[in-house]
Amino acid sequence: MDLSAINPVLLIASLMVAATPLLLAAIGELVVEKSGVLNLGVEGMMIVGAIAGFAVSVETGSPLLGLIAAMIGGALLSCLFAFLTQFALANQVASGLALTLFGLGLSALMGQGYVGVKPPAMATLDIPVISDLPVIGPIFFSHDPVLYFGVFLTAAVWYALKFTRIGLVLRATGENHDAAHALGYHVIRVRVIAILFGGACAGLGGAYISLIRVPQWTEGMTAGIGWIALALVVFASWKPWRVLLGAYLFGGINVLQLNLQAAGVAIPVEYLAMSPYVITIVVLVIMSRDKTSAPGSLGRIFHASS
Amino acid sequence: MKLTKLLATAAVALGLASTAMADDKTKVGFVFVGPVGDGGWTYEHNKGRLAVEEKFGDKVETVFVESVPEGPDAERVMTQMALDGADLIFTTSFGYMDPTINVAKKFPKVKFEHATGYKQAPNVSVYSARFYEGRAVQGHIAGQMTKSNVIGYIGSYPIPEVIRGINSAFVHARAVNPDVQFKIIWAYTWFDPAKEADAAKVLIEQGADVILQHTDSTAPQAAAQAAGNVVTFGQASDMSEYAPFPRVSSIIDDWAPYYIARTQAVMDGSWESANTWHGIGDGMVGIGEISDAVPAEIKASALQLKAKLASGEYHAFTGPLNKQDGSAWLADGETADDGTLAGMGFYVEGLEGDVPQ
Amino acid sequence: MIVLEKRPQPSRAWSLMTPVVAVVITMIAGGLLFAALGKNPAEAIGTIFWEPLFGEYAFFYRPQLLVKGAPLVLIAIGLSLGFRAGIWNIGAEGQYIVGAICGAGAGLAFYPMESVFIFPLMVLAGALGGWCWAMIPALLKVKFGTNEILVSLMLVYVAEQLLASVSLGLLKNPQGFGFPGSRNLQSYESAFNAELIEGSGMHWGVVAAFIAVILSYVLLNKHILGFNIRLTGEAPRAARFGGVNPTRLILFCLGMSGMLAGLAGMFEASGPAGQISIDFNVGYGFTAIIVAFLGRLHPVGILLAGLLMALTYIGGEIAQSNLGLPAAAIQVFQGMLLFFLLALDLLTNFRIRFAAKGAA
């Protein structure tokens, strides 16, 4: 056993990378849920984003175009969900699950020609002097742009929800859609936009895995991250900064687990691998005292009958 | 009883039918555990299938079903292939073992080939590759390429196949570098690229400058490339897109020669149940080109080791070797028997940590 | 302008019609997809839907439909009770795994003793295992108001790790040369859930699925508890005023769905699968959610939906092998089927009217 082999600075830097796809997908889902919609199709949108981004960036040679394509891909897939739940008034749980099934299949079909291809690399931030600073440099100034975008997005969503009119309308819709409707807000329109935003974020999160974190394309490569993102939103009790914190915690446990193994600590791996989920449950229990946080209309179907 | 009879009659009828009407076409079925686009295990088996098609052209028809879960689904897919007139069926995952035996009982005329298992029958062969021979060459190169004397190893699950690879790589790394240490991470997954990437990064952060992987994605290669000064080896496929550096060589699963030979045997009527465990010598385990990032003398000695393994002159587990607890395993000059290797559940002396139980 | 008008009562006619219409539309859309992949669409559709039921080897596939469909139906029946009451157990996959581990574990504990009591004991252990696993979200919801969707989902991942752990440790076959996975129960007579009539596909799990369909039909239509479940789902406030005890309802619905999922896992492990292994679970718990909705949360509907789903799996495999369709295409096809069913559900609950703009 050699715990000194674990470098806490590098551990933090790599957990930030591990957390970013989770963060992006979860922030998107947070907005969706704040509008009162539960979309369980995050995994499906992520994987479609992963292949859309991968294919476009391989074809064009531009990682940036790839990321944009990933957002479009995720959003397009979420259109299906929006149509089903907002216009056809279908059950959201079932629609979300169907979306995941469909997305996994679709991505595999799209990706048939891209197995074993290496995507163009994404540049990382490298500011002379600052990026080389001890501790601060590796943690804050040596990452890829998408990681910073994730943090920026968290801040933007927090600000928008808290201080802007759009945020107010969104929250009102999620809290009580009938009241929001009575006030003259377009409930359906707000929700569709939120769903598209969620799809774009999930797509970007997926592309982060296929273009930056791994980078390669293989079928089913998101391997359940979309589901964890769903848990994360609840874990964070629908608060953006807590999503960030939770994503780092989730990513952190995994990275720490691997670190302990590599340092030769004889840990029962299965039990440590369970721990993020057990901790989420514990946090859910603790957070559940705070009854005010969940959007009031979450998962309920809205139909303007009058 | 009824179904067995029905199936048997159907099989016999089909057997007759296929010899009578389409006798020039041999039908070969493949049952895959992952998608053919997994870039690793199933991808390589599928390449073997394509090689069979290319070799025999019109004389053969191949069919496959991908992503078949182990268990009843596999049994159904095999039965379906047999019913549809397959003459030879390759089942390419350890978990297909019992289903293969079950289905083979019902179709005595159809030949089955099960990869990596240990249960044989008159119409069921088993085959596997001595990947540990490739690991020996890897260990030999890795031991000399490392400057930090720390080699990282990403394992999937603690099963004999993986443990054998770790031991073989370690023995040969130690032989050329007595100071070398292995850091082992069990990913507890066959397939999770993101987790493999994380595992590789962690090993690099903890000082490893050579990464060996027993998982199939290129994620560790990319992580090593990002780190800049870390050596890796391709796994399952050549992963040459990361050559010449960080990927300096690779272990390639090459099923094509075997698949072609067995198909030929069915065509000739010379097929017999066999237990095949081929290594470098028979071409089932390929060593990808050793790139120029490896100094010439190391490359030369690695190729020499490869040649000795291929000719059978040298066995990758040759004594004196002790088990991890210090007890004697192989005496001087003694080589490991296949039985012990097949069920290997212990580390050799010098490795740290325990095999997870 | 199109206006949706809520029907006072869901239309019975449409509720029977929509699945048929959805299947037909899926065939058309799926045909286009298969054509785009360069396959003959009619042949592909025919292979998926016709071959398993009426093809040359239907004698083999028809029983297989039961084998594949039974766990789906069994789990979905349990889930439907909760779904009707607005209690969302989406962790059936975990309950299925734990039920299988407990059931197979109970059997293996007696190995190699032969006794008629072993199998019933395994059934009990499996049911109990699934029940206990479902009681975790149930008790947390009752005590702390924790969201059961997420707790039950999280417990799936915990159960998967538990499965890996026992496959490599506790239940590992001592004669398995160190490979993961338990002994094969198919060769342990007292614990083997064999076909009751050979070649029929009927094993105890299939019987249990049929019993579950009948009992849940009776429960929902003839029993006060069933009425309470429906009432809670349709009008929660009215239910509370009507004296329905929500705590008891939650415990009952989650416990019942966990128990049935556990049973499904146990029957699968002791019968068709034969053993516990790392990859034992193949997503029945999640697919069953879809089956429950496809079946309109109605017992008979679920039975048919489970068989339909099994048909697409089996037909899909035949299409892969015979026509070279990729597995992903089958997945997309299944996804489309769900989309169309969900979308067309609209017609059951709403009337579509064409009205002049502004008139509504």
Q: What is the dihedral of CA B190, B194, B195, B198, to 10 degrees?
A: 140
d(CA C314, CA C292): 19
Q: In this structure, are residues B152 and B183 in contact, taking their beta carbons and an 8 Å threshold?
A: yes
Statement: residue C280 has pLDDT above 50? yes
Q: What is the dihedral of CA C88, C94, C96, C98, to 10 degrees?
A: -130
Judged by CB atoms closer than 8 Å, whether chains meet at C328 and A109 is answered as yes
Nearest CA-CA distance, residue B40 and chain A, Å: 9
Is the bond preceding B246 in cis, omega lying within 30 degrees of 0? yes
The answer to whether B158 contacts chain A (CB < 8 Å) is no
Nearest CA-CA distance, residue A84 and chain C, Å: 6
Q: In this structure, are residues B26 and B87 in contact, taking their beta carbons and an 8 Å threshold?
A: yes
- Host domain of residue A177: 3-130+137-287
Q: What is the mean pLDDT of residues A232-241?
A: 86
Q: Which one has a higher pLDDT value, C233 or A78?
A: A78
Judged by CB atoms closer than 8 Å, whether chains meet at C331 and A104 is answered as yes
Nearest CA-CA distance, residue B26 and chain C, Å: 15
Judged by CB atoms closer than 8 Å, whether chains meet at B76 and C317 is answered as yes
Statement: residue B226 has pLDDT above 60? yes
Q: In this structure, are residues C61 and C69 in contact, taking their beta carbons and an 8 Å threshold?
A: no
C289 in a domain, yes or no?
yes
Max mean pLDDT among A19-28, C170-179, C274-283 falls in A19-28
d(CA A131, CA A137): 4
Q: Which fold has domain B132-253+288-342?
A: Rossmann fold (3.40.50)
Nearest CA-CA distance, residue B266 and chain C, Å: 20
Kindly give the pairing relationship between strand B328-330 and strand B321-322. antiparallel
Contacts of C324 in chain B (CB under 8 A): 63-64
> What is the Cα gyration radius of chain B?
21
The answer to whether A220 contacts chain C (CB < 8 Å) is no
Contacts of B201 in chain A (CB under 8 A): 14, 17
List Cα–Cα distances, C222 to B122, C24, C103, in angstroms.
Answer: 57, 35, 32
d(CA C74, CA C207): 10
In sequence order, what are the beta bridge partners of B186? B155
| Residue in A101, A104, A278 closest to C338 by CB | A101
**For B82-118, b where at least 16 C-beta lie within 10 A, e where not — what string?**
bbbbbbbbbbbbbbbbbbbbbbbebbeebbbbbbbbb
A304 in a domain, yes or no?
no
Q: Which helix (H) or strand (E) holds C265?
A: helix C246-270
Q: What is the mean pLDDT of residues B109-136?
A: 93
Contacts of C342 in chain A (CB under 8 A): 84, 88, 90-91, 94-95, 98
The answer to whether A270 contacts chain C (CB < 8 Å) is yes
Contacts of B36 in chain C (CB under 8 A): 326
Q: Which helix (H) or strand (E) holds B85?
A: none
The 10s digit of each residue's pLDDT in C21-48 is: 888 899 899 999 999 888 889 899 988 9
A303 in a domain, yes or no?
no
Judged by CB atoms closer than 8 Å, whether chains meet at C328 and B356 is answered as no
Q: What is the mean pLDDT of residues B111-126?
A: 93
Question: What local confidence, expressed as pLDDT, does residue A121 receive?
Answer: 79
Kindly give the pairing relationship between strand B150-155 and strand B181-186. parallel
Phi, psi for residue A251 in degrees, rounded to 5: -60, -40
Which segment of A62-76, A116-130, A250-264, B61-75 scores lowest on mean pLDDT? A116-130
B165-184 residues touching C, CB cutoff 8 A:
none
Question: What local confidence, expressed as pLDDT, does residue B21 receive?
Answer: 44
Token pair belonging to C194: 């064999």
d(CA A37, CA C310): 30
Which segment of B69-73, B151-155, B247-251, C348-352 scores lowest on mean pLDDT? C348-352
* Secondary structure class of B126 (helix, strand, coil): strand
A296 in a domain, yes or no?
no
d(CA B63, CA B80): 11
Contacts of A270 in chain B (CB under 8 A): 188
- What is the 3 state secondary structure string of B135-203? HHHHHHHHHHHCCCCEEEEEECCCCHHHHHHHHHHHHHHHHHCCCCEEEEEECCCCCCHHHHHHHHHHH
Question: What local confidence, expressed as pLDDT, does residue B142 receive?
Answer: 95
CB atoms within 10 A of CB C129: 30
The answer to whether B109 contacts chain A (CB < 8 Å) is no
With 0-12 / 13-18 / 19 or more C-beta atoms within 10 angstroms meaning exposed / middle / buried, residue C11 is: middle
CA triple C227-C229-C235, angle to 5 deg: 90
- Nearest Cα neighbor of C210 from C39, C73, C14, C347 is C73
Nearest CA-CA distance, residue C60 and chain B, Å: 8
d(CA A108, CA A118): 17
The DSSP call for residue A83 is I
Statement: residue B23 has pLDDT above 70? no
Question: What local confidence, expressed as pLDDT, does residue C124 receive?
Answer: 96
The answer to whether B17 contacts chain C (CB < 8 Å) is no
| DSSP letter for each residue of A254-270 | HHHHHHHHHTT----HH
Contacts of B188 in chain A (CB under 8 A): 269-270, 273
Statement: residue B158 has pLDDT above 90? no
Percent of chain B with pLDDT over 90: 62
Question: What local confidence, expressed as pLDDT, does residue B1 receive?
Answer: 41
A49 in a domain, yes or no?
yes
Question: What local confidence, expressed as pLDDT, does residue C147 receive?
Answer: 79
Kindly give the pairing relationship between strand B60-65 and strand B26-31. parallel
Nearest residue in A to C347, CA atom? A88
A294 in a domain, yes or no?
no
Question: What local confidence, expressed as pLDDT, does residue C351 receive?
Answer: 77
Q: Estimate to the nearest angstrom the gap between the alpha carbon of C131 and the chain centroid.
A: 16
Number of domains in chain A: 1
The 10s digit of each residue's pLDDT in A171-230 is: 999 888 888 888 888 899 999 999 999 999 999 999 999 998 888 888 888 888 898 898
Nearest residue in A to C283, CA atom? A101
Given pLDDT bands bounded at 50, 70 and 90, which one contains residue B15?
A: very low
In sequence order, what are the beta bridge partners of A90? none
Q: What is the mean pLDDT of residues C287-294?
A: 87
User: Domain extents for chain B?
Assistant: 2-129, 132-253+288-342
With 0-12 / 13-18 / 19 or more C-beta atoms within 10 angstroms meaning exposed / middle / buried, residue B352 is: middle
Nearest CA-CA distance, residue B354 and chain A, Å: 7
The DSSP call for residue C195 is -
Judged by CB atoms closer than 8 Å, whether chains meet at C332 and A278 is answered as no
Question: What local confidence, expressed as pLDDT, does residue B5 receive?
Answer: 53
Phi, psi for residue C128 in degrees, rounded to 5: -65, -40
Judged by CB atoms closer than 8 Å, whether chains meet at B198 and A258 is answered as yes
Instruction: Kindly report the average pLDDT of chain A as a whole number.
Output: 86
Q: What is the mean pLDDT of residues C15-19?
A: 80
The 10s digit of each residue's pLDDT in A282-296 is: 877 887 766 556 777
Question: What local confidence, expressed as pLDDT, does residue A271 receive?
Answer: 77
Q: What is the mean pLDDT of residues C180-184?
A: 83
d(CA A243, CA A249): 10
Contacts of B195 in chain A (CB under 8 A): 223, 254
Nearest residue in A to C295, CA atom? A94
A55 in a domain, yes or no?
yes
Give me the count of residues in chain A: 306
Chain B: touching chains (3 or more CB pairs < 8 Å): A, C
Chain C: touching chains (3 or more CB pairs < 8 Å): A, B
Q: What is the mean pLDDT of residues B131-138?
A: 94
Token pair belonging to A226: 């979309």
d(CA A47, CA A106): 9
Instruction: Kindly report the average pLDDT of chain C as a whole number.
Output: 87
d(CA C165, CA B314): 37
Contacts of A10 in chain B (CB under 8 A): 205
Percent of chain A with pLDDT over 70: 93
The answer to whether B64 contacts chain C (CB < 8 Å) is yes
Given pLDDT bands bounded at 50, 70 and 90, which one contains residue A125?
A: low
Cα distance between the two ends of chain B: 41
d(CA B8, CA B82): 10
Nearest CA-CA distance, residue C250 and chain A, Å: 17
Q: In this structure, are residues A77 and A99 in contact, taking their beta carbons and an 8 Å threshold?
A: yes
Q: What is the CATH number of the domain that holds A174?
A: 1.10.3470
A216 in a domain, yes or no?
yes
Instruction: Kindly report the average pLDDT of chain B as a whole number.
Output: 88
The DSSP call for residue C7 is -
Percent of chain A with pLDDT over 90: 40
Q: Estimate to the nearest angstrom the gap between the alpha carbon of B218 and the chain centroid.
A: 17
Given pLDDT bands bounded at 50, 70 and 90, which one contains residue C1?
A: low
Judged by CB atoms closer than 8 Å, whether chains meet at B64 and C327 is answered as no
- Host domain of residue C303: 64-325
Statement: residue B239 has pLDDT above 90? no
The answer to whether A130 contacts chain B (CB < 8 Å) is no
CB atoms within 10 A of CB A179: 14
Nearest CA-CA distance, residue A201 and chain B, Å: 18
The answer to whether A281 contacts chain C (CB < 8 Å) is yes
Kindly report the pTM of this predicted structure.
0.87
Judged by CB atoms closer than 8 Å, whether chains meet at B217 and A214 is answered as yes
C184 in a domain, yes or no?
yes
Contacts of B344 in chain C (CB under 8 A): 178
Contacts of C146 in chain A (CB under 8 A): 281, 284-285, 288
The answer to whether C355 contacts chain A (CB < 8 Å) is no
- Nearest Cα neighbor of B44 from B233, B230, B256 is B256
Given pLDDT bands bounded at 50, 70 and 90, which one contains residue B20?
A: very low
The answer to whether B7 contacts chain C (CB < 8 Å) is yes
Contacts of A219 in chain C (CB under 8 A): 328
C53 in a domain, yes or no?
no
Contacts of A109 in chain C (CB under 8 A): 37, 326, 328-329, 332
The answer to whether B186 contacts chain C (CB < 8 Å) is no
Statement: residue C359 has pLDDT above 90? no
List Cα–Cα distances, B278 to A66, B119, B127, B129, B130, in angstroms.
Answer: 43, 17, 8, 5, 6
Q: In this structure, are residues B33 and B68 in contact, taking their beta carbons and an 8 Å threshold?
A: yes
Q: Which fold has domain B2-129?
A: Rossmann fold (3.40.50)
Judged by CB atoms closer than 8 Å, whether chains meet at A284 and C164 is answered as no
Give strand ranges (E) for chain C: 2-6, 350-354
Q: Between A and C, how many residue pairs show a Cβ–Cβ distance under 8 A?
A: 142
| Residue in C145, C286, C346 closest to A88 by CB | C346
- What is the 3 state secondary structure string of C288-352? HHHHHHHCCCCHHHHHHHHHHHHHHHHHHHHHHHHHCCCHHHHHHHHHHHHHHHHHHHHHHHEEE
Q: Which amino acid is at A296?
A: G
List Cα–Cα distances, B347 to B168, B341, C166, C175, in angstroms.
Answer: 10, 12, 21, 20
Judged by CB atoms closer than 8 Å, whether chains meet at A115 and B43 is answered as yes
d(CA A81, CA B130): 49
Question: What local confidence, expressed as pLDDT, does residue C358 receive?
Answer: 46
Cα distance between the two ends of chain C: 9
Contacts of A209 in chain B (CB under 8 A): 193-194
d(CA B42, CA B66): 8
d(CA A107, CA B217): 18
Contacts of B353 in chain A (CB under 8 A): 264, 266
Q: What is the mean pLDDT of residues A250-273?
A: 80
Question: What local confidence, expressed as pLDDT, does residue B6 receive?
Answer: 54
| Residue in C68, C275, C317 closest to B65 by CB | C317
* Secondary structure class of A226 (helix, strand, coil): helix
d(CA C37, CA C332): 12
The answer to whether A215 contacts chain B (CB < 8 Å) is yes
Given pLDDT bands bounded at 50, 70 and 90, which one contains residue B18?
A: very low
C182 in a domain, yes or no?
yes
CA triple A10-A11-A13, angle to 5 deg: 60
With 0-12 / 13-18 / 19 or more C-beta atoms within 10 angstroms meaning exposed / middle / buried, residue C54 is: exposed
Number of domains in chain C: 1
The 10s digit of each residue's pLDDT in C91-149 is: 999 999 999 999 999 998 888 888 888 999 999 999 999 999 999 999 999 988 887 88
Judged by CB atoms closer than 8 Å, whether chains meet at A116 and B35 is answered as no
